[in-house]
Structure 1
Protein backbone atom coordinates (compact mmCIF):
# COMPACT_ATOMS: atom_id res chain seq x y z
CA UNK A 1 0.00 0.00 0.00
CA UNK A 2 1.24 3.50 -0.84
CA UNK A 3 2.56 5.48 2.11
CA UNK A 4 -0.12 7.70 3.64
CA UNK A 5 0.30 9.86 6.71
CA UNK A 6 -1.29 8.27 9.77
CA UNK A 7 -2.89 11.65 10.44
CA UNK A 8 -5.08 11.01 7.39
CA UNK A 9 -6.16 7.50 8.42
CA UNK A 10 -8.94 6.60 10.85
CA UNK A 11 -9.76 3.34 12.61
CA UNK A 12 -13.21 2.48 13.96
CA UNK A 13 -14.91 -0.57 15.50
CA UNK A 14 -18.54 -0.77 14.36
CA UNK A 15 -20.81 -1.95 17.16
CA UNK A 16 -24.10 -0.68 15.74
CA UNK A 17 -25.78 0.63 12.61
CA UNK A 18 -25.98 3.05 10.89
CA UNK A 19 -22.27 3.29 10.18
CA UNK A 20 -20.34 5.93 12.14
CA UNK A 21 -19.83 9.30 10.44
CA UNK A 22 -16.84 9.43 8.12
CA UNK A 23 -14.28 11.75 9.72
CA UNK A 24 -10.94 10.93 8.05
CA UNK A 25 -9.49 13.22 5.38
CA UNK A 26 -7.80 10.24 3.71
CA UNK A 27 -9.26 6.83 4.36
CA UNK A 28 -10.55 4.99 7.38
CA UNK A 29 -10.69 1.35 8.31
CA UNK A 30 -13.91 -0.04 9.76
CA UNK A 31 -13.75 -3.28 11.71
CA UNK A 32 -17.04 -5.14 11.70
CA UNK A 33 -18.29 -8.53 12.76
CA UNK A 34 -17.52 -9.96 9.32
CA UNK A 35 -14.14 -8.39 8.56
CA UNK A 36 -12.12 -5.27 7.87
CA UNK A 37 -13.27 -2.62 5.40
CA UNK A 38 -11.83 0.64 4.02
CA UNK A 39 -13.96 3.73 3.42
CA UNK A 40 -13.27 6.95 1.53
CA UNK A 41 -15.37 9.84 0.21
CA UNK A 42 -14.76 12.43 -2.51
CA UNK A 43 -17.14 14.55 -4.62
CA UNK A 44 -19.16 12.20 -6.82
CA UNK A 45 -17.91 9.00 -5.19
CA UNK A 46 -18.14 7.10 -1.91
CA UNK A 47 -16.73 3.61 -1.36
CA UNK A 48 -16.79 1.07 1.44
CA UNK A 49 -14.66 -1.83 0.23
CA UNK A 50 -13.74 -5.19 1.80
CA UNK A 51 -10.10 -5.59 2.85
CA UNK A 52 -10.07 -8.85 4.84
CA UNK A 53 -12.66 -11.45 5.77
CA UNK A 54 -12.60 -12.86 9.29
CA UNK A 55 -14.46 -15.34 11.40
CA UNK A 56 -17.36 -13.59 13.19
CA UNK A 57 -16.16 -11.04 15.73
CA UNK A 58 -18.46 -10.95 18.74
CA UNK A 59 -19.98 -7.62 19.65
CA UNK A 60 -19.57 -6.04 16.20
CA UNK A 61 -22.20 -5.74 13.46
CA UNK A 62 -22.08 -7.11 9.91
CA UNK A 63 -20.90 -4.50 7.39
CA UNK A 64 -22.08 -4.48 3.76
CA UNK A 65 -19.62 -2.99 1.22
CA UNK A 66 -20.85 -0.57 -1.44
CA UNK A 67 -19.91 1.81 -4.22
CA UNK A 68 -22.02 4.96 -4.46
CA UNK A 69 -21.76 7.22 -7.53
CA UNK A 70 -24.38 9.93 -7.73
CA UNK A 71 -25.38 10.34 -10.43
CA UNK A 72 -24.01 7.44 -12.41
CA UNK A 73 -21.93 8.21 -15.50
CA UNK A 74 -24.04 8.41 -18.72
CA UNK A 75 -23.68 5.50 -21.12
CA UNK A 76 -22.88 7.96 -23.91
CA UNK A 77 -19.53 8.73 -22.28
CA UNK A 78 -18.69 5.02 -22.09
CA UNK A 79 -19.47 4.61 -25.79
CA UNK A 80 -17.40 7.69 -26.66
CA UNK A 81 -14.38 6.22 -24.85
CA UNK A 82 -14.84 2.94 -26.72
CA UNK A 83 -15.12 4.83 -30.04
CA UNK A 84 -11.91 6.75 -29.43
CA UNK A 85 -10.20 3.55 -28.34
CA UNK A 86 -11.07 2.09 -31.74
CA UNK A 87 -9.59 5.12 -33.47
CA UNK A 88 -6.37 4.80 -31.46
CA UNK A 89 -5.76 1.28 -32.80
CA UNK A 90 -7.06 1.77 -36.34
CA UNK A 91 -3.60 1.01 -37.75
CA UNK A 92 -3.14 -2.76 -37.22
CA UNK A 93 0.64 -2.32 -37.58
CA UNK A 94 0.78 0.27 -34.81
CA UNK A 95 -2.15 -0.09 -32.39
CA UNK A 96 -2.01 2.46 -29.59
CA UNK A 97 -3.39 2.52 -26.09
CA UNK A 98 -5.31 5.65 -25.06
CA UNK A 99 -6.10 7.22 -21.70
CA UNK A 100 -9.32 8.89 -20.53
CA UNK A 101 -10.27 10.89 -17.45
CA UNK A 102 -13.79 11.47 -16.13
CA UNK A 103 -14.18 14.51 -13.89
CA UNK A 104 -17.06 15.63 -11.67
CA UNK A 105 -17.47 19.30 -12.67
CA UNK A 106 -20.35 21.56 -11.60
CA UNK A 107 -22.63 18.65 -10.78
CA UNK A 108 -21.98 16.88 -14.07
CA UNK A 109 -19.62 14.28 -15.55
CA UNK A 110 -17.03 15.57 -18.03
CA UNK A 111 -14.90 13.38 -20.30
CA UNK A 112 -11.31 14.54 -20.86
CA UNK A 113 -8.80 12.99 -23.24
CA UNK A 114 -5.57 14.40 -21.81
CA UNK A 115 -2.49 15.20 -23.81
CA UNK A 116 -0.54 11.98 -23.47
CA UNK A 117 2.29 9.71 -24.52
CA UNK A 118 0.94 6.67 -26.37
CA UNK A 119 2.43 3.37 -27.39
CA UNK A 120 1.44 -0.21 -28.09
CA UNK A 121 1.74 -1.13 -24.41
CA UNK A 122 1.47 2.15 -22.55
CA UNK A 123 -0.24 5.51 -22.29
CA UNK A 124 0.50 8.23 -19.73
CA UNK A 125 -0.59 11.84 -19.28
CA UNK A 126 1.84 14.68 -20.00
CA UNK A 127 0.51 16.96 -17.28
CA UNK A 128 0.40 15.73 -13.68
CA UNK A 129 0.21 19.06 -11.82
CA UNK A 130 -2.52 19.80 -9.29
CA UNK A 131 -4.86 21.42 -11.84
CA UNK A 132 -4.54 18.60 -14.38
CA UNK A 133 -7.17 15.99 -15.15
CA UNK A 134 -4.63 13.38 -14.05
CA UNK A 135 -5.04 14.65 -10.49
CA UNK A 136 -8.69 15.73 -10.58
CA UNK A 137 -10.19 12.64 -12.25
CA UNK A 138 -12.71 10.52 -10.36
CA UNK A 139 -12.47 7.78 -13.01
CA UNK A 140 -9.47 6.84 -15.13
CA UNK A 141 -9.86 4.47 -18.08
CA UNK A 142 -7.36 3.19 -20.63
CA UNK A 143 -7.53 0.81 -23.58
CA UNK A 144 -5.70 -2.41 -24.45
CA UNK A 145 -6.64 -2.37 -28.19
CA UNK A 146 -6.82 -6.02 -29.39
CA UNK A 147 -5.74 -7.52 -26.05
CA UNK A 148 -8.20 -8.59 -23.34
CA UNK A 149 -9.48 -6.19 -20.70
CA UNK A 150 -7.41 -6.91 -17.60
CA UNK A 151 -5.30 -5.04 -15.04
CA UNK A 152 -1.62 -5.76 -15.58
CA UNK A 153 1.17 -5.62 -13.01
CA UNK A 154 2.13 -2.29 -14.57
CA UNK A 155 -1.40 -1.04 -13.96
CA UNK A 156 -1.17 -2.20 -10.34
CA UNK A 157 2.00 -0.16 -9.86
CA UNK A 158 0.63 2.93 -11.63
CA UNK A 159 -2.77 2.88 -9.93
CA UNK A 160 -1.79 2.53 -6.27
CA UNK A 161 -1.82 6.25 -5.49
CA UNK A 162 -4.87 8.08 -4.21
CA UNK A 163 -8.55 7.23 -4.55
CA UNK A 164 -10.54 6.76 -7.76
CA UNK A 165 -12.17 4.17 -10.01
CA UNK A 166 -10.04 2.61 -12.74
CA UNK A 167 -11.19 0.92 -15.91
CA UNK A 168 -9.75 -0.82 -18.95
CA UNK A 169 -11.15 -1.61 -22.40
CA UNK A 170 -10.02 -4.68 -24.34
CA UNK A 171 -10.63 -6.25 -27.76
CA UNK A 172 -12.04 -2.87 -28.73
CA UNK A 173 -12.43 -3.53 -32.46
CA UNK A 174 -13.92 -7.01 -32.05
CA UNK A 175 -17.57 -8.01 -32.29
CA UNK A 176 -17.73 -8.14 -28.48
CA UNK A 177 -15.39 -5.55 -26.91
CA UNK A 178 -14.59 -5.93 -23.21
CA UNK A 179 -14.41 -3.69 -20.16
CA UNK A 180 -13.37 -4.14 -16.55
CA UNK A 181 -13.45 -1.77 -13.55
CA UNK A 182 -12.10 -1.57 -10.03
CA UNK A 183 -11.82 0.85 -7.14
CA UNK A 184 -8.30 1.93 -6.22
CA UNK A 185 -7.89 3.20 -2.66
CA UNK A 186 -4.26 3.98 -1.75
CA UNK A 187 -3.05 0.58 -2.90
CA UNK A 188 -6.17 -1.42 -2.05
CA UNK A 189 -8.10 -2.70 -5.09
CA UNK A 190 -11.66 -3.98 -5.41
CA UNK A 191 -13.26 -5.03 -8.70
CA UNK A 192 -16.78 -3.71 -9.22
CA UNK A 193 -19.32 -4.21 -12.05
CA UNK A 194 -19.82 -1.47 -14.62
CA UNK A 195 -23.54 -1.28 -13.77
CA UNK A 196 -22.64 0.40 -10.47
CA UNK A 197 -20.68 3.10 -12.30
CA UNK A 198 -22.54 3.75 -15.55
CA UNK A 199 -26.18 4.14 -16.57
CA UNK A 200 -26.21 1.19 -18.98
CA UNK A 201 -28.99 0.09 -21.29
CA UNK A 202 -29.94 -3.58 -21.57
CA UNK A 203 -28.45 -3.80 -25.08
CA UNK A 204 -25.04 -2.24 -24.38
CA UNK A 205 -22.56 -4.17 -26.53
CA UNK A 206 -19.42 -3.82 -24.41
CA UNK A 207 -19.06 -6.96 -22.31
CA UNK A 208 -18.28 -6.46 -18.62
CA UNK A 209 -15.70 -9.12 -17.73
CA UNK A 210 -15.18 -7.93 -14.16
CA UNK A 211 -14.38 -10.84 -11.85
CA UNK A 212 -16.57 -10.77 -8.77
CA UNK A 213 -16.60 -13.03 -5.77
CA UNK A 214 -20.13 -14.11 -4.92
CA UNK A 215 -19.57 -13.47 -1.22
CA UNK A 216 -18.60 -9.80 -1.69
CA UNK A 217 -22.26 -8.82 -1.10
CA UNK A 218 -21.75 -5.68 -3.17
CA UNK A 219 -24.65 -3.26 -3.28
CA UNK A 220 -25.11 0.32 -4.46
CA UNK A 221 -26.08 2.95 -1.95
Structure 2
Protein backbone atom coordinates (compact mmCIF):
# COMPACT_ATOMS: atom_id res chain seq x y z
CA UNK A 1 0.00 0.00 0.00
CA UNK A 2 1.32 3.45 -0.90
CA UNK A 3 1.87 5.91 1.90
CA UNK A 4 -0.38 8.93 2.31
CA UNK A 5 0.85 12.17 0.75
CA UNK A 6 0.64 14.54 3.70
CA UNK A 7 1.91 17.63 1.87
CA UNK A 8 -1.44 18.27 0.24
CA UNK A 9 -3.19 18.34 3.61
CA UNK A 10 -1.39 21.41 4.91
CA UNK A 11 -1.67 24.41 2.56
CA UNK A 12 0.56 27.26 3.74
CA UNK A 13 -1.60 29.92 2.11
CA UNK A 14 -5.27 30.25 1.38
CA UNK A 15 -5.78 29.43 -2.32
CA UNK A 16 -6.30 32.54 -4.44
CA UNK A 17 -9.69 31.35 -5.65
CA UNK A 18 -10.93 30.78 -2.10
CA UNK A 19 -9.59 34.14 -0.97
CA UNK A 20 -11.36 35.91 -3.85
CA UNK A 21 -14.57 34.02 -3.04
CA UNK A 22 -14.36 35.02 0.63
CA UNK A 23 -13.71 38.68 -0.22
CA UNK A 24 -16.58 38.66 -2.67
CA UNK A 25 -18.92 37.33 0.01
CA UNK A 26 -17.79 40.12 2.33
CA UNK A 27 -18.50 42.70 -0.35
CA UNK A 28 -21.94 41.30 -1.06
CA UNK A 29 -22.80 41.14 2.62
CA UNK A 30 -21.97 44.87 2.90
CA UNK A 31 -25.01 45.68 0.75
CA UNK A 32 -27.44 46.93 3.01
CA UNK A 33 -27.49 44.06 5.52
CA UNK A 34 -26.44 45.47 8.87
CA UNK A 35 -23.65 43.53 10.51
CA UNK A 36 -22.86 41.40 7.48
CA UNK A 37 -19.12 42.20 7.30
CA UNK A 38 -18.79 41.87 11.06
CA UNK A 39 -20.43 38.44 10.93
CA UNK A 40 -18.04 37.39 8.18
CA UNK A 41 -15.05 38.49 10.24
CA UNK A 42 -16.46 36.69 13.27
CA UNK A 43 -16.90 33.49 11.25
CA UNK A 44 -13.35 33.78 9.94
CA UNK A 45 -11.96 34.12 13.47
CA UNK A 46 -13.72 30.91 14.53
CA UNK A 47 -13.28 28.91 11.35
CA UNK A 48 -9.55 29.46 10.97
CA UNK A 49 -8.45 27.84 14.26
CA UNK A 50 -10.89 24.96 13.79
CA UNK A 51 -9.70 24.34 10.26
CA UNK A 52 -6.10 24.44 11.45
CA UNK A 53 -6.87 21.97 14.22
CA UNK A 54 -8.69 19.71 11.74
CA UNK A 55 -5.72 19.82 9.36
CA UNK A 56 -3.26 19.04 12.15
CA UNK A 57 -5.38 16.07 13.20
CA UNK A 58 -5.50 14.72 9.64
CA UNK A 59 -1.72 15.04 9.30
CA UNK A 60 -1.06 13.35 12.64
CA UNK A 61 -3.35 10.44 11.81
CA UNK A 62 -1.75 10.22 8.37
CA UNK A 63 1.67 9.97 10.02
CA UNK A 64 0.41 7.15 12.25
CA UNK A 65 -0.95 5.26 9.24
CA UNK A 66 2.29 5.76 7.31
CA UNK A 67 4.26 4.45 10.27
CA UNK A 68 2.07 1.33 10.39
CA UNK A 69 2.55 0.83 6.65
CA UNK A 70 6.33 1.20 6.88
CA UNK A 71 6.43 -1.39 9.67
CA UNK A 72 4.17 -3.71 7.65
CA UNK A 73 1.54 -3.69 10.39
CA UNK A 74 -1.16 -2.33 8.12
CA UNK A 75 -2.01 -3.09 4.50
CA UNK A 76 -4.64 -1.63 2.20
CA UNK A 77 -6.88 -4.61 2.88
CA UNK A 78 -6.42 -4.15 6.62
CA UNK A 79 -7.37 -0.50 6.35
CA UNK A 80 -10.55 -1.35 4.46
CA UNK A 81 -11.60 -4.30 6.59
CA UNK A 82 -10.56 -3.30 10.13
CA UNK A 83 -13.79 -1.86 11.51
CA UNK A 84 -12.28 -1.09 14.93
CA UNK A 85 -9.49 0.90 13.30
CA UNK A 86 -11.87 2.85 11.06
CA UNK A 87 -14.19 3.62 13.99
CA UNK A 88 -11.26 4.71 16.14
CA UNK A 89 -9.97 7.07 13.44
CA UNK A 90 -13.44 8.59 13.08
CA UNK A 91 -13.87 9.05 16.82
CA UNK A 92 -10.34 10.41 17.30
CA UNK A 93 -10.92 13.05 14.61
CA UNK A 94 -13.99 14.30 16.46
CA UNK A 95 -12.36 14.20 19.90
CA UNK A 96 -9.23 15.99 18.67
CA UNK A 97 -11.28 19.00 17.56
CA UNK A 98 -12.51 19.39 21.14
CA UNK A 99 -9.10 19.15 22.79
CA UNK A 100 -5.78 20.95 22.54
CA UNK A 101 -3.51 19.55 25.28
CA UNK A 102 -0.51 17.73 23.84
CA UNK A 103 -0.87 14.86 26.34
CA UNK A 104 -4.39 14.12 25.15
CA UNK A 105 -3.48 14.39 21.48
CA UNK A 106 -0.56 12.01 21.98
CA UNK A 107 -2.84 9.54 23.76
CA UNK A 108 -5.30 9.72 20.85
CA UNK A 109 -2.55 9.08 18.30
CA UNK A 110 -1.46 6.05 20.28
CA UNK A 111 -5.07 4.84 20.40
CA UNK A 112 -5.25 5.02 16.59
CA UNK A 113 -2.05 3.01 16.25
CA UNK A 114 -3.02 0.40 18.84
CA UNK A 115 -6.49 -0.03 17.34
CA UNK A 116 -4.82 -1.52 14.23
CA UNK A 117 -3.06 -4.23 16.24
CA UNK A 118 -4.44 -7.67 17.13
CA UNK A 119 -4.25 -6.61 20.80
CA UNK A 120 -6.88 -3.88 20.26
CA UNK A 121 -9.39 -3.92 23.14
CA UNK A 122 -12.96 -5.04 22.64
CA UNK A 123 -15.37 -2.55 21.11
CA UNK A 124 -16.91 -1.78 24.50
CA UNK A 125 -13.55 -1.10 26.13
CA UNK A 126 -12.20 0.82 23.13
CA UNK A 127 -15.17 3.19 23.14
CA UNK A 128 -14.97 3.56 26.93
CA UNK A 129 -11.27 4.44 26.67
CA UNK A 130 -11.78 7.02 23.94
CA UNK A 131 -14.63 8.59 25.90
CA UNK A 132 -12.34 8.70 28.94
CA UNK A 133 -9.73 10.71 27.02
CA UNK A 134 -12.43 13.05 25.75
CA UNK A 135 -13.99 13.91 29.12
CA UNK A 136 -11.10 13.48 31.57
CA UNK A 137 -8.35 15.95 32.42
CA UNK A 138 -4.68 15.58 31.58
CA UNK A 139 -4.11 15.00 35.29
CA UNK A 140 -6.39 11.94 35.13
CA UNK A 141 -4.11 10.47 32.47
CA UNK A 142 -0.92 11.37 34.31
CA UNK A 143 -2.04 9.88 37.63
CA UNK A 144 -3.15 6.68 35.93
CA UNK A 145 0.21 6.42 34.15
CA UNK A 146 2.14 6.95 37.38
CA UNK A 147 0.23 4.40 39.42
CA UNK A 148 0.23 1.71 36.77
CA UNK A 149 3.85 1.22 37.93
CA UNK A 150 5.13 4.02 40.21
CA UNK A 151 8.61 2.53 40.57
CA UNK A 152 9.08 2.31 36.79
CA UNK A 153 7.72 5.86 36.34
CA UNK A 154 10.19 7.27 38.85
CA UNK A 155 13.24 5.34 37.63
CA UNK A 156 12.56 6.01 33.92
CA UNK A 157 12.72 9.74 34.66
CA UNK A 158 15.93 9.47 36.69
CA UNK A 159 14.18 10.80 39.78
CA UNK A 160 15.69 10.05 43.20
CA UNK A 161 12.91 9.37 45.70
CA UNK A 162 13.18 10.39 49.35
CA UNK A 163 14.21 7.73 51.84
CA UNK A 164 10.66 6.61 52.50
CA UNK A 165 10.26 3.95 55.17
CA UNK A 166 6.55 4.58 55.65
CA UNK A 167 4.08 7.07 54.24
CA UNK A 168 0.97 7.61 52.17
CA UNK A 169 0.17 7.29 48.47
CA UNK A 170 -0.28 11.06 48.35
CA UNK A 171 3.46 11.48 49.05
CA UNK A 172 4.31 9.36 46.00
CA UNK A 173 1.81 11.27 43.88
CA UNK A 174 3.24 14.67 44.82
CA UNK A 175 6.79 13.44 44.27
CA UNK A 176 6.05 11.91 40.87
CA UNK A 177 3.94 14.88 39.76
CA UNK A 178 5.42 17.90 41.58
CA UNK A 179 3.08 20.29 39.80
CA UNK A 180 0.31 18.84 41.99
CA UNK A 181 2.03 19.62 45.28
CA UNK A 182 -0.21 21.90 47.30
CA UNK A 183 -3.27 20.93 45.22
CA UNK A 184 -4.55 18.04 47.35
CA UNK A 185 -8.18 19.08 46.92
CA UNK A 186 -7.89 18.77 43.14
CA UNK A 187 -5.97 15.53 42.89
CA UNK A 188 -8.10 13.88 45.60
CA UNK A 189 -11.22 14.48 43.49
CA UNK A 190 -9.47 13.11 40.40
CA UNK A 191 -8.20 10.06 42.29
CA UNK A 192 -11.71 9.26 43.56
CA UNK A 193 -13.06 9.67 40.03
CA UNK A 194 -10.51 7.16 38.72
CA UNK A 195 -11.45 4.76 41.53
CA UNK A 196 -15.18 5.11 40.83
CA UNK A 197 -14.55 4.43 37.15
CA UNK A 198 -12.97 1.12 38.14
CA UNK A 199 -9.49 2.14 37.00
CA UNK A 200 -7.74 2.21 40.41
CA UNK A 201 -7.86 -0.37 43.19
CA UNK A 202 -7.50 1.98 46.16
CA UNK A 203 -10.05 4.57 47.26
CA UNK A 204 -8.01 6.66 49.71
CA UNK A 205 -4.70 8.46 49.36
CA UNK A 206 -3.69 9.13 52.95
CA UNK A 207 -3.49 5.73 54.65
CA UNK A 208 -0.04 5.18 56.16
CA UNK A 209 1.74 2.11 54.78
CA UNK A 210 5.17 0.64 54.16
CA UNK A 211 7.48 1.88 51.41
CA UNK A 212 6.64 -1.16 49.28
CA UNK A 213 2.96 -0.39 49.67
CA UNK A 214 3.52 3.24 48.74
CA UNK A 215 5.11 2.43 45.39
CA UNK A 216 2.94 -0.57 44.50
CA UNK A 217 0.90 -0.47 41.30
CA UNK A 218 -2.69 0.65 41.82
CA UNK A 219 -4.38 0.15 38.44
CA UNK A 220 -7.12 -2.43 38.00
CA UNK A 221 -7.08 -4.82 35.05
CA UNK A 222 -9.26 -2.33 33.17
CA UNK A 223 -6.99 0.58 34.14
CA UNK A 224 -3.89 -1.28 32.95
CA UNK A 225 -5.64 -2.09 29.67
CA UNK A 226 -6.50 1.59 29.20
CA UNK A 227 -2.88 2.66 29.82
CA UNK A 228 -1.67 0.09 27.30
CA UNK A 229 -4.14 1.37 24.72
CA UNK A 230 -3.00 4.97 25.18
CA UNK A 231 0.74 4.18 25.26
How high is the TM-score relative to the length of structure 1? 0.28
Larger Rg: 2
Bigger relative CO (Cα 8 Å, ≥ 6 apart)? 2
Between Structure 1 and Structure 2, which shows a larger proportion of helix residues?
2
TM-score if structure 2 supplies the norm length? Answer: 0.28
Structure number with higher strand proportion: 1
